[in-house]
Amino acid sequence: MRTTTTLVFLVLSLLALNRCGNGRDVECFEVAVVTDAGGLGDKGKNDMVWRGCQRFAEEGGVFTSVCEYEPGTEAKGRTCLDEASARGVDVVVVASPIWGAYVHGLAKKYPGVNYLIVGGGQGAPNVAALSFPAAEAGFLTGVAAAAAVPAGSYGFLGGRRDSTTEGLAAGYRDGVLSENASAHVAVAYLGDDFAAPTACERARALAGELFGGGAAVIFAAAGRANADVAAVAKERKKLIIGCGSNQNYLEPGYVITSLNIRWDDVVFEELSVAAADAFKGGARVIGITSKHISYPIDDNNRSLIPAEAVRKIEAARQRLAARAAN
């Protein structure tokens, strides 16, 4: 993992390489990505966001160049946002709402730049803030945990403590209790600061404490440190639920399922709209029944999640959707 701020230009099309920014009279669509803590290779949201940008560069139908910033601190992230904005790129994709207020200041200063905040926040004419219903998604993971593994105790391990992880934790607890009213759910976080999701040794220690305290399943929403939580689950012969992408493969046989948020598809769709000069600012929430939210079943976890658990998850999803509609 890179610990310093880096700017890496990855031109994902030979035509883009030949024609973008090289004095050719061809319009180029430029995208800058500022990752959350952990950078690329986090096996979660950062990788999903980057995958969406890669796909757009390959399939978007316009000459595209993509640059990536991996800030090691929250302050360096602001510097990255400054650089990308001053560069005058078409879209700055911000993989964390932690810089939400700062982005809004830049949006006023650079009205010709569009900003896409992944994970929440407030919108503006040139700022699209995308989020998902964390409490509802967490509820479904709680149902999955308790339906797949009836037990007395469960755990939640979040990375950075913020409104999203708190929503996931609260929803997870409620979902577990909906299946087992007497269950105990212990909650822990890696920290409150920007770098919390990269505290891998702390994640291993806290996971060990949660399992040692009786948790049969941990819902791991710890960012890059999720791989370490999965490793501890394998060591302890326990189970986890992943978060941020399909993480069933992390430790096959020890991951019941994952809260899979398809930020890659969402980012691809948003960039496609922006490239068509139809960028739409504002705050938007991915609905709980959206195809972009799923709980994957594959060869890595099929034996861990019985059909009855899947039925309960889907039934709960429809109840939540009906409640939201009213």
Q: Quick one: pLDDT at residue 6? A: 40
Rounded alpha-carbon distances, angstroms, from residue 318 to 56, 263, 322: 32, 22, 6
The neighbouring-strand residues paired with 69 are: 7, 34
Phi, psi of 85 (to 5 degrees): -70, -45
Lowest-confidence range among 60-64, 200-204, 259-263?
Answer: 60-64
pLDDT value at 10 more than 90: no
Instruction: Grade residue 26 by pLDDT with cuts at 50, 70 and 90.
Output: low
Residues 264-314: pLDDT tens digits?
999 999 999 999 999 999 999 999 999 999 999 999 999 999 999 999 999
Look up the CATH number of domain 134-260+296-325. 3.40.50.2300
pLDDT in tens, 116-168: 999 999 999 999 999 999 999 999 999 999 999 999 999 999 999 999 999 99
In this structure, CATH architecture of domain 7-131+263-285? 3-Layer(aba) Sandwich (3.40)
- Kindly report, residue by residue over 51-100, the tens digit of the pLDDT: 999 999 999 999 999 999 999 999 999 999 999 999 999 999 999 999 99
- Dig out the tokens for 246 from the structure: 């399909």
State if pTM tops 0.85.
yes
Q: Is residue 33 predicted with pLDDT exceeding 90?
A: yes
The predicted pLDDT at position 21 comes to 52
| Radius of gyration over every alpha carbon of the chain, rounded to an integer in angstroms | 20
Domain with CATH 3.40.50.2300 in the chain: 7-131+263-285, 134-260+296-325
Q: How high is the pLDDT of residue 27? A: 77
DSSP-assigned letters across all residues of 30-85 = EEEEE--TT-TTSSSHHHHHHHHHHHHHHHSSS-EEEEEE--SSHHHHHHHHHHHH
Residue with tokens 């009279």, as numbered in its chain: 25
Q: What DSSP letter does each residue of 247-312 carry, written as one string?
A: -TTSSTTSEEEEEEE-HHHHHHHHHHHHHTT----EEEE--TTSTTEE----TTTTTTS-HHHHHH
CA distance 11 to 112: 22
